[in-house]
Structure 1
């Protein structure tokens, strides 16, 4: 074990686009676990668009402040334990922040069962997989034969949402940026149709891809794409509001979705936001289903792994720019 603890700190809060200047690499003393604490070695850090949203103010967690270790979840290994129920070598998920080591109260740790590659604990068996599972099946409530549209479809959550919708017998349309990502969604993941939002004529593309309208829209981006999808919704359609990545980084949009109140009323639409931990009591059942689909080959697990703690800021900035395909994470 090293004598010091390398950290990525938030040097300043961005007012515009996130850049490397907003982070700093620092060294701190090795943390010492107190009574009831567990010393953790961080193995793999999860990168999510939500990392950027936390810089804007309080959400479902406290707002971030300049000078603190950048927040983020990870898969970590127990080094020493001063708490019952945890022993060296255990794997846990925790909000460790971007650093090599941390000491946390045992009550803040979630022990992890080994299920295939370690990286899967951050992707399909982690927040991404569980968000896709509950957001689609319990919020979107798709039925076989319906049309499901998902934005940010080549990302960590969207790539799983589309595949789970196919498993449920739905017709699936993915919205992604760039011809390469769109082709990958169809050839590798089996999406029925795709929309390249970077190619222009979003409304025309969406009408061609979903000529019978949209029954379920899984929204990861908000903004103009949400507006376009709302106008294609069928009577009684459901919108699972998972994220708004188009509004996290840089200047806020000039307008929100227009004509929404009338659409919601006349089409009897349901727009529901959700937070993953609303479904915590059902995690075990969901993980069992996800593992079954993975092991049977029905659910592919795209991952984008970057090595080195020092590369974490650039990896997040790249994620916000849409560089990744599948779940992006950093191997510390």
Structure 2
């Protein structure tokens, strides 16, 4: 057990210095995005227009914000299926508390974010204290969250939205939509947390090898709980963005978004096994998934085939993750071992 932990830690340290696989992954994704965009520009005259590109990016911001939180959870080898339900619950609360109970818009927004964090806290406690598998714990939260959203909204759209949402949707800074800049800001902050803080190092350690992390003095349960809380908070923020985009709080929104988010995160190089990935790759995964969905719409693919294409993308992402872990990293491990064994011989 200790030998395994040591080997894992050595590999993790090496990857932290050179990040070769991460660079290859990101370069490959960028090449696919550019090549796919070039093909689509010939297949559809609408694709390369500024209006369409801006629409793709604005639509991607919602998935990207949710994916930021999901990345933290997957990095600790967890999964959060409740993200879409927390999103819609946040959406209907932020509008409903204002329209039904005359709350100030700022207080309604704060309450919605707090509810999202509360869902994350409950998920984290269920996983760490009750030892419920993340899939089951968050599946229960997914059902509860969506049900509460329907109960609160009565199954109908809640409108009108406060002016703060309209301003968020249509405001621009230097000609760039504010929602896009907000998403980039959140992703940059998240990456700084992961790469420059003690908590970030603890996240990677917990996901990469929980036993070694505990032996190193890391409170892995606290790290896991915090990651679920971050996921709940990001889902709630995404709920505010979708409210601004649709100008209504709707419990029926974001159906199946949890699968799209997981696909985007894994496509972006975040391993389902935990301990590997970054926000830059995740954003590329979100953009690629957004381009696929946009291409399906522009090419007038029937709705049923839209689901098939999305399913194939998810399957390809999972297969890529398994390949990366089983083949690419095993090759790197052999290189690390051979390097370590060759050094004593040189000294002799």
Q: Given the two structures, how large is their TM-score scaled by the length of structure 2?
A: 0.23
Q: Given the two structures, how large is their TM-score scaled by the length of structure 1?
A: 0.23
Q: Which structure shows the higher helix fraction?
A: 2
Q: Which structure shows the higher strand fraction?
A: 1
